[in-house]
Structure 1
Amino acid sequence: MRKVARSERTYRSLAIKNRLIFPLRRKTAQRQIIQILIIAFLLPLLFFIIPAWGQSTSTNKNFKTAPVELNGQALFQVAGNDQTNLTAAKRAEIISSKLEDILNSGESIEVDIDQQNKETILRVNSNYLLTVTAIDVKGRMKIEEQAVIWKYKIEEALELAQIESQPRYIFKVLIISIILILTALALEFSYRFFEFKISNLFEERYPQFVNYLPTIF
Protein backbone atom coordinates (compact mmCIF):
# COMPACT_ATOMS: atom_id res chain seq x y z
CA MET A 1 0.00 0.00 0.00
CA ARG A 2 2.82 2.35 0.84
CA LYS A 3 4.50 1.65 -2.50
CA VAL A 4 1.23 2.34 -4.33
CA ALA A 5 0.73 5.55 -2.39
CA ARG A 6 4.29 6.63 -3.12
CA SER A 7 3.91 5.87 -6.81
CA GLU A 8 0.66 7.83 -6.95
CA ARG A 9 2.32 10.79 -5.24
CA THR A 10 5.22 10.51 -7.67
CA TYR A 11 2.88 10.50 -10.69
CA ARG A 12 0.98 13.48 -9.27
CA SER A 13 4.17 15.43 -8.69
CA LEU A 14 5.33 14.57 -12.22
CA ALA A 15 2.01 15.63 -13.67
CA ILE A 16 2.12 18.94 -11.76
CA LYS A 17 5.72 19.44 -12.79
CA ASN A 18 4.91 18.67 -16.42
CA ARG A 19 2.03 21.13 -16.42
CA LEU A 20 4.55 23.77 -15.53
CA ILE A 21 7.21 22.51 -17.95
CA PHE A 22 4.99 22.22 -21.03
CA PRO A 23 3.66 25.79 -21.06
CA LEU A 24 7.23 27.02 -20.54
CA ARG A 25 8.47 24.87 -23.42
CA ARG A 26 5.60 26.04 -25.61
CA LYS A 27 6.41 29.68 -24.89
CA THR A 28 10.06 29.04 -25.70
CA ALA A 29 9.13 27.37 -29.00
CA GLN A 30 6.75 30.21 -29.85
CA ARG A 31 9.45 32.79 -29.15
CA GLN A 32 11.84 30.92 -31.43
CA ILE A 33 9.26 30.81 -34.22
CA ILE A 34 8.54 34.52 -33.82
CA GLN A 35 12.28 35.25 -33.98
CA ILE A 36 12.56 33.22 -37.19
CA LEU A 37 9.63 35.12 -38.72
CA ILE A 38 11.16 38.45 -37.74
CA ILE A 39 14.47 37.46 -39.32
CA ALA A 40 12.68 36.26 -42.47
CA PHE A 41 10.79 39.56 -42.64
CA LEU A 42 13.88 41.73 -42.07
CA LEU A 43 16.14 39.77 -44.43
CA PRO A 44 14.83 41.49 -47.60
CA LEU A 45 15.73 44.84 -46.03
CA LEU A 46 19.38 43.88 -46.45
CA PHE A 47 18.98 44.49 -50.16
CA PHE A 48 18.29 48.12 -49.30
CA ILE A 49 20.65 48.48 -46.35
CA ILE A 50 23.78 46.95 -47.91
CA PRO A 51 23.89 49.36 -50.90
CA ALA A 52 23.63 52.24 -48.44
CA TRP A 53 26.96 51.21 -46.93
CA GLY A 54 28.57 52.04 -50.23
CA GLN A 55 27.79 55.72 -49.72
CA SER A 56 30.89 56.16 -47.60
CA THR A 57 33.93 57.27 -49.57
CA SER A 58 36.87 54.93 -50.17
CA THR A 59 40.37 55.39 -51.52
CA ASN A 60 41.64 54.48 -55.00
CA LYS A 61 45.31 55.17 -55.71
CA ASN A 62 45.37 57.56 -52.73
CA PHE A 63 42.39 59.45 -54.20
CA LYS A 64 39.05 59.50 -52.42
CA THR A 65 36.20 57.91 -54.32
CA ALA A 66 32.42 57.86 -53.88
CA PRO A 67 29.71 55.61 -55.33
CA VAL A 68 27.42 56.55 -58.20
CA GLU A 69 23.97 55.22 -57.32
CA LEU A 70 20.63 54.56 -58.95
CA ASN A 71 17.59 53.60 -56.88
CA GLY A 72 19.84 53.02 -53.88
CA GLN A 73 22.09 50.60 -55.78
CA ALA A 74 25.80 51.45 -56.10
CA LEU A 75 26.95 51.16 -59.73
CA PHE A 76 30.61 52.17 -59.60
CA GLN A 77 33.08 54.45 -57.82
CA VAL A 78 34.28 57.80 -59.15
CA ALA A 79 37.14 59.95 -57.95
CA GLY A 80 37.24 63.71 -57.50
CA ASN A 81 38.03 66.02 -60.41
CA ASP A 82 40.80 68.50 -59.65
CA GLN A 83 40.23 70.43 -62.88
CA THR A 84 36.67 71.34 -61.91
CA ASN A 85 37.32 71.41 -58.13
CA LEU A 86 34.75 68.66 -57.58
CA THR A 87 35.10 66.31 -54.65
CA ALA A 88 34.39 62.63 -55.20
CA ALA A 89 31.16 62.83 -53.20
CA LYS A 90 29.91 65.89 -55.11
CA ARG A 91 30.81 64.40 -58.49
CA ALA A 92 29.05 61.13 -57.64
CA GLU A 93 26.00 63.08 -56.48
CA ILE A 94 25.80 65.00 -59.77
CA ILE A 95 26.11 61.83 -61.88
CA SER A 96 23.55 60.00 -59.73
CA SER A 97 21.13 62.92 -60.08
CA LYS A 98 21.49 62.84 -63.88
CA LEU A 99 20.77 59.11 -63.94
CA GLU A 100 17.64 59.65 -61.83
CA ASP A 101 16.45 62.32 -64.26
CA ILE A 102 17.05 59.98 -67.20
CA LEU A 103 15.12 57.22 -65.45
CA ASN A 104 12.19 59.50 -64.61
CA SER A 105 11.99 60.74 -68.20
CA GLY A 106 10.81 57.30 -69.33
CA GLU A 107 12.73 57.57 -72.59
CA SER A 108 14.50 54.70 -74.30
CA ILE A 109 18.11 54.37 -73.17
CA GLU A 110 21.20 54.59 -75.35
CA VAL A 111 24.62 54.94 -73.72
CA ASP A 112 27.52 55.98 -75.97
CA ILE A 113 31.26 56.47 -75.53
CA ASP A 114 32.58 59.64 -77.13
CA GLN A 115 36.15 60.81 -77.65
CA GLN A 116 36.41 64.58 -77.50
CA ASN A 117 39.55 66.69 -76.97
CA LYS A 118 41.46 63.55 -75.93
CA GLU A 119 38.87 62.88 -73.23
CA THR A 120 36.67 59.81 -72.88
CA ILE A 121 33.07 60.85 -72.31
CA LEU A 122 29.96 58.84 -71.54
CA ARG A 123 26.70 60.15 -72.96
CA VAL A 124 23.16 58.92 -72.40
CA ASN A 125 20.72 59.71 -75.21
CA SER A 126 23.35 62.10 -76.64
CA ASN A 127 23.44 64.05 -73.35
CA TYR A 128 26.67 64.43 -71.37
CA LEU A 129 26.87 62.22 -68.29
CA LEU A 130 30.50 62.06 -67.17
CA THR A 131 34.14 62.10 -68.22
CA VAL A 132 36.23 59.06 -67.36
CA THR A 133 39.53 60.30 -65.91
CA ALA A 134 42.83 58.57 -65.21
CA ILE A 135 42.18 58.50 -61.46
CA ASP A 136 38.86 56.69 -62.05
CA VAL A 137 40.74 53.73 -63.51
CA LYS A 138 41.72 50.77 -61.32
CA GLY A 139 45.01 48.93 -61.67
CA ARG A 140 46.51 48.77 -65.16
CA MET A 141 43.19 49.16 -66.92
CA LYS A 142 42.96 51.74 -69.69
CA ILE A 143 40.52 54.63 -69.58
CA GLU A 144 38.71 53.29 -72.65
CA GLU A 145 38.28 49.88 -71.00
CA GLN A 146 36.89 51.48 -67.86
CA ALA A 147 34.46 53.49 -69.98
CA VAL A 148 33.15 50.31 -71.64
CA ILE A 149 32.59 48.66 -68.25
CA TRP A 150 30.71 51.69 -66.93
CA LYS A 151 28.68 51.91 -70.14
CA TYR A 152 27.27 48.40 -69.68
CA LYS A 153 26.70 48.91 -65.96
CA ILE A 154 24.71 52.08 -66.64
CA GLU A 155 22.65 50.41 -69.37
CA GLU A 156 21.81 47.41 -67.20
CA ALA A 157 20.98 49.56 -64.16
CA LEU A 158 18.68 51.89 -66.10
CA GLU A 159 16.88 49.02 -67.86
CA LEU A 160 16.38 47.15 -64.58
CA ALA A 161 15.17 50.30 -62.82
CA GLN A 162 12.63 50.91 -65.60
CA ILE A 163 11.27 47.38 -65.21
CA GLU A 164 11.07 47.64 -61.42
CA SER A 165 9.22 50.95 -61.62
CA GLN A 166 6.39 49.45 -63.68
CA PRO A 167 3.10 48.93 -61.77
CA ARG A 168 2.83 45.32 -62.97
CA TYR A 169 6.23 44.46 -61.46
CA ILE A 170 5.43 46.22 -58.17
CA PHE A 171 2.09 44.40 -57.94
CA LYS A 172 3.82 41.05 -58.56
CA VAL A 173 6.37 41.67 -55.81
CA LEU A 174 3.60 42.73 -53.42
CA ILE A 175 1.58 39.57 -54.10
CA ILE A 176 4.63 37.35 -53.54
CA SER A 177 5.41 39.12 -50.26
CA ILE A 178 1.83 38.67 -49.01
CA ILE A 179 1.86 34.97 -49.93
CA LEU A 180 5.14 34.42 -48.07
CA ILE A 181 3.85 36.19 -44.96
CA LEU A 182 0.56 34.24 -44.96
CA THR A 183 2.44 30.97 -45.45
CA ALA A 184 4.72 31.73 -42.52
CA LEU A 185 1.74 32.57 -40.29
CA ALA A 186 -0.09 29.40 -41.35
CA LEU A 187 2.95 27.28 -40.51
CA GLU A 188 3.28 28.95 -37.13
CA PHE A 189 -0.38 28.38 -36.16
CA SER A 190 -0.27 24.79 -37.45
CA TYR A 191 2.79 24.07 -35.37
CA ARG A 192 1.22 25.59 -32.25
CA PHE A 193 -2.03 23.66 -32.80
CA PHE A 194 -0.40 20.24 -33.24
CA GLU A 195 2.07 20.84 -30.43
CA PHE A 196 -0.81 21.75 -28.10
CA LYS A 197 -2.85 18.69 -29.14
CA ILE A 198 0.07 16.29 -28.73
CA SER A 199 1.06 17.71 -25.35
CA ASN A 200 -2.50 17.43 -24.03
CA LEU A 201 -2.82 13.87 -25.33
CA PHE A 202 0.29 12.72 -23.54
CA GLU A 203 -0.59 14.63 -20.37
CA GLU A 204 -3.91 12.78 -20.19
CA ARG A 205 -2.79 9.27 -21.19
CA TYR A 206 0.88 9.07 -20.25
CA PRO A 207 1.61 11.63 -17.53
CA GLN A 208 4.59 9.60 -16.28
CA PHE A 209 6.40 10.01 -19.62
CA VAL A 210 5.54 13.62 -20.40
CA ASN A 211 8.70 15.02 -18.87
CA TYR A 212 10.77 13.20 -21.52
CA LEU A 213 8.83 14.50 -24.53
CA PRO A 214 10.27 18.04 -24.81
CA THR A 215 13.78 16.65 -25.21
CA ILE A 216 12.55 14.29 -27.95
CA PHE A 217 10.67 16.96 -29.92
Structure 2
Amino acid sequence: MPVISSKPYIAGDVVFKCKPLLVYIHDKYKGEYCDNCLKPMDQLKRCSKCRQMYYCGKNCQTIDWSFHKNECKVLRENRINGFHPIFIPLLRVYLRIKNDKTFATERHTLIDGSDVCLNDMNIAVNVRCISEDVFVICRQFKSIGIDFKAKELKRWFKLVLKNTNNMSRESDDPMSFDATIGGAVCPQLWPISHSCSPNMAFICRDG
Protein backbone atom coordinates (compact mmCIF):
# COMPACT_ATOMS: atom_id res chain seq x y z
CA MET A 1 0.00 0.00 0.00
CA PRO A 2 1.51 3.39 -0.94
CA VAL A 3 2.44 5.84 1.79
CA ILE A 4 1.42 9.45 1.16
CA SER A 5 3.27 12.25 2.89
CA SER A 6 1.23 14.66 5.00
CA LYS A 7 3.77 17.42 4.39
CA PRO A 8 3.14 19.85 1.49
CA TYR A 9 6.42 19.95 -0.43
CA ILE A 10 7.56 22.90 -2.50
CA ALA A 11 10.30 23.11 -5.13
CA GLY A 12 13.71 22.85 -3.52
CA ASP A 13 12.61 20.91 -0.42
CA VAL A 14 14.79 17.98 0.64
CA VAL A 15 12.57 14.89 0.61
CA PHE A 16 15.15 12.47 1.99
CA LYS A 17 18.87 12.09 2.61
CA CYS A 18 20.98 8.97 2.79
CA LYS A 19 24.61 7.91 2.53
CA PRO A 20 25.13 5.76 -0.59
CA LEU A 21 26.52 2.26 -0.26
CA LEU A 22 28.87 3.20 -3.09
CA VAL A 23 29.18 5.67 -5.96
CA TYR A 24 30.75 5.38 -9.39
CA ILE A 25 31.71 7.63 -12.30
CA HIS A 26 30.93 6.88 -15.95
CA ASP A 27 33.89 6.35 -18.28
CA LYS A 28 33.56 9.68 -20.12
CA TYR A 29 33.84 11.67 -16.88
CA LYS A 30 36.68 9.70 -15.32
CA GLY A 31 39.35 12.08 -14.07
CA GLU A 32 36.94 15.01 -13.87
CA TYR A 33 35.08 14.01 -10.70
CA CYS A 34 36.28 12.37 -7.47
CA ASP A 35 35.45 8.65 -7.45
CA ASN A 36 34.31 8.93 -3.83
CA CYS A 37 32.58 12.27 -3.23
CA LEU A 38 31.88 13.23 -6.90
CA LYS A 39 33.54 16.61 -6.40
CA PRO A 40 34.63 18.16 -9.73
CA MET A 41 38.32 19.11 -9.85
CA ASP A 42 40.93 19.92 -12.50
CA GLN A 43 43.75 18.06 -10.75
CA LEU A 44 42.55 14.88 -9.09
CA LYS A 45 44.98 12.42 -7.54
CA ARG A 46 45.09 9.08 -9.36
CA CYS A 47 45.55 5.69 -7.68
CA SER A 48 49.26 4.98 -8.16
CA LYS A 49 48.69 1.25 -8.73
CA CYS A 50 45.71 0.80 -11.05
CA ARG A 51 45.76 4.37 -12.47
CA GLN A 52 41.99 4.13 -13.04
CA MET A 53 40.52 5.70 -9.88
CA TYR A 54 40.69 9.41 -9.10
CA TYR A 55 40.31 11.18 -5.75
CA CYS A 56 40.19 14.79 -4.59
CA GLY A 57 42.41 13.97 -1.62
CA LYS A 58 43.78 11.36 0.78
CA ASN A 59 40.59 11.32 2.87
CA CYS A 60 38.37 10.24 -0.05
CA GLN A 61 40.92 7.64 -1.12
CA THR A 62 40.95 6.21 2.42
CA ILE A 63 37.14 6.13 2.62
CA ASP A 64 36.89 4.34 -0.74
CA TRP A 65 39.61 1.82 0.12
CA SER A 66 37.09 -0.65 1.61
CA PHE A 67 35.88 -1.17 -1.98
CA HIS A 68 38.92 -0.30 -4.02
CA LYS A 69 41.30 -2.71 -2.27
CA ASN A 70 39.28 -5.57 -3.79
CA GLU A 71 39.27 -4.22 -7.35
CA CYS A 72 42.63 -2.44 -7.61
CA LYS A 73 44.52 -5.46 -8.97
CA VAL A 74 41.69 -6.24 -11.42
CA LEU A 75 41.71 -2.67 -12.74
CA ARG A 76 45.51 -2.67 -12.87
CA GLU A 77 45.53 -5.71 -15.16
CA ASN A 78 42.48 -4.87 -17.31
CA ARG A 79 41.11 -1.92 -19.23
CA ILE A 80 37.33 -1.86 -18.82
CA ASN A 81 36.37 1.25 -20.77
CA GLY A 82 33.19 0.71 -22.72
CA PHE A 83 31.94 -2.13 -20.53
CA HIS A 84 28.27 -2.38 -19.50
CA PRO A 85 27.19 0.73 -17.46
CA ILE A 86 26.36 -1.47 -14.46
CA PHE A 87 29.67 -3.37 -14.68
CA ILE A 88 31.68 -1.16 -12.31
CA PRO A 89 29.16 -0.92 -9.44
CA LEU A 90 28.40 -4.63 -9.80
CA LEU A 91 32.11 -5.49 -9.75
CA ARG A 92 32.59 -3.36 -6.64
CA VAL A 93 29.65 -4.97 -4.82
CA TYR A 94 30.51 -8.51 -5.94
CA LEU A 95 34.18 -8.34 -4.94
CA ARG A 96 33.32 -6.68 -1.61
CA ILE A 97 30.84 -9.48 -0.82
CA LYS A 98 33.42 -12.12 -1.74
CA ASN A 99 36.21 -10.56 0.31
CA ASP A 100 34.26 -9.21 3.29
CA LYS A 101 32.08 -11.91 4.87
CA THR A 102 30.10 -9.38 6.95
CA PHE A 103 29.28 -6.99 4.11
CA ALA A 104 26.13 -8.78 2.85
CA THR A 105 24.86 -9.27 6.43
CA GLU A 106 25.41 -5.68 7.59
CA ARG A 107 22.09 -4.10 8.57
CA HIS A 108 20.65 -1.06 6.73
CA THR A 109 17.73 1.03 7.95
CA LEU A 110 15.50 1.74 4.98
CA ILE A 111 13.48 4.89 4.45
CA ASP A 112 10.29 3.08 5.54
CA GLY A 113 11.90 2.21 8.89
CA SER A 114 12.51 -1.47 8.14
CA ASP A 115 15.89 -3.01 8.89
CA VAL A 116 17.45 -5.38 6.34
CA CYS A 117 20.76 -6.63 5.00
CA LEU A 118 21.70 -7.18 1.36
CA ASN A 119 21.07 -10.91 1.74
CA ASP A 120 17.50 -10.21 2.92
CA MET A 121 16.48 -8.17 -0.08
CA ASN A 122 14.05 -10.03 -2.30
CA ILE A 123 14.83 -8.27 -5.55
CA ALA A 124 12.18 -8.14 -8.25
CA VAL A 125 13.11 -6.02 -11.26
CA ASN A 126 10.76 -5.52 -14.16
CA VAL A 127 13.26 -4.64 -16.88
CA ARG A 128 13.13 -5.74 -20.50
CA CYS A 129 16.18 -7.57 -21.83
CA ILE A 130 17.61 -8.14 -18.34
CA SER A 131 18.71 -11.61 -19.51
CA GLU A 132 20.67 -9.99 -22.34
CA ASP A 133 22.30 -7.57 -19.90
CA VAL A 134 23.25 -10.39 -17.54
CA PHE A 135 24.71 -12.37 -20.47
CA VAL A 136 26.87 -9.36 -21.41
CA ILE A 137 27.95 -8.87 -17.79
CA CYS A 138 28.86 -12.57 -17.43
CA ARG A 139 30.95 -12.41 -20.60
CA GLN A 140 32.75 -9.31 -19.34
CA PHE A 141 33.43 -10.88 -15.92
CA LYS A 142 34.92 -13.90 -17.68
CA SER A 143 37.06 -11.67 -19.90
CA ILE A 144 38.87 -10.26 -16.85
CA GLY A 145 39.20 -13.62 -15.11
CA ILE A 146 36.59 -13.24 -12.32
CA ASP A 147 35.14 -16.54 -11.07
CA PHE A 148 31.42 -16.41 -10.39
CA LYS A 149 28.17 -18.36 -10.36
CA ALA A 150 25.75 -16.99 -12.96
CA LYS A 151 22.70 -17.24 -10.69
CA GLU A 152 24.46 -15.39 -7.89
CA LEU A 153 25.80 -12.72 -10.24
CA LYS A 154 22.31 -12.20 -11.67
CA ARG A 155 20.95 -11.58 -8.16
CA TRP A 156 23.54 -8.91 -7.38
CA PHE A 157 23.06 -7.39 -10.83
CA LYS A 158 19.35 -6.99 -10.09
CA LEU A 159 20.12 -5.52 -6.65
CA VAL A 160 22.53 -2.95 -8.10
CA LEU A 161 20.09 -2.11 -10.90
CA LYS A 162 17.19 -1.69 -8.48
CA ASN A 163 19.14 0.50 -6.07
CA THR A 164 21.06 2.70 -8.51
CA ASN A 165 20.22 6.41 -8.62
CA ASN A 166 21.74 8.49 -11.40
CA MET A 167 23.85 11.49 -10.36
CA SER A 168 23.60 14.56 -12.62
CA ARG A 169 25.56 17.76 -12.91
CA GLU A 170 23.61 20.65 -11.39
CA SER A 171 23.92 22.78 -14.52
CA ASP A 172 22.53 20.11 -16.84
CA ASP A 173 19.05 18.93 -17.73
CA PRO A 174 18.52 15.94 -15.40
CA MET A 175 16.31 14.30 -18.04
CA SER A 176 19.28 14.03 -20.39
CA PHE A 177 21.43 10.87 -20.28
CA ASP A 178 24.44 13.02 -21.21
CA ALA A 179 23.93 14.94 -17.95
CA THR A 180 24.52 11.79 -15.90
CA ILE A 181 28.07 11.65 -14.56
CA GLY A 182 27.65 8.42 -12.65
CA GLY A 183 25.46 6.70 -10.13
CA ALA A 184 25.00 5.82 -6.48
CA VAL A 185 23.81 2.51 -5.06
CA CYS A 186 21.41 3.38 -2.23
CA PRO A 187 19.71 0.37 -0.61
CA GLN A 188 18.05 2.71 1.93
CA LEU A 189 15.76 3.91 -0.88
CA TRP A 190 14.84 0.39 -1.97
CA PRO A 191 11.15 0.59 -0.85
CA ILE A 192 10.53 3.74 -2.89
CA SER A 193 8.61 3.43 -6.11
CA HIS A 194 7.35 6.70 -7.52
CA SER A 195 6.37 8.52 -10.65
CA CYS A 196 7.47 12.04 -11.54
CA SER A 197 4.70 12.35 -14.12
CA PRO A 198 2.16 14.24 -11.95
CA ASN A 199 4.78 16.89 -11.14
CA MET A 200 6.52 17.48 -14.43
CA ALA A 201 5.92 18.69 -17.97
CA PHE A 202 8.04 18.55 -21.13
CA ILE A 203 8.52 21.90 -22.85
CA CYS A 204 9.60 22.04 -26.50
CA ARG A 205 11.30 25.05 -28.03
CA ASP A 206 11.38 25.89 -31.76
CA GLY A 207 8.77 23.24 -32.56
**Do both proteins adopt the same fold according to a TM-score greater than 0.5, normalized to the shorter chain?**
no
Q: Which has the higher contact order (CA 8 A, sep 6+)?
A: 2
Over alpha carbons, which structure has the higher Rg?
1
Higher relative helix content: 1
Higher relative strand content: 1
TM-score range, shorter chain: under 0.3
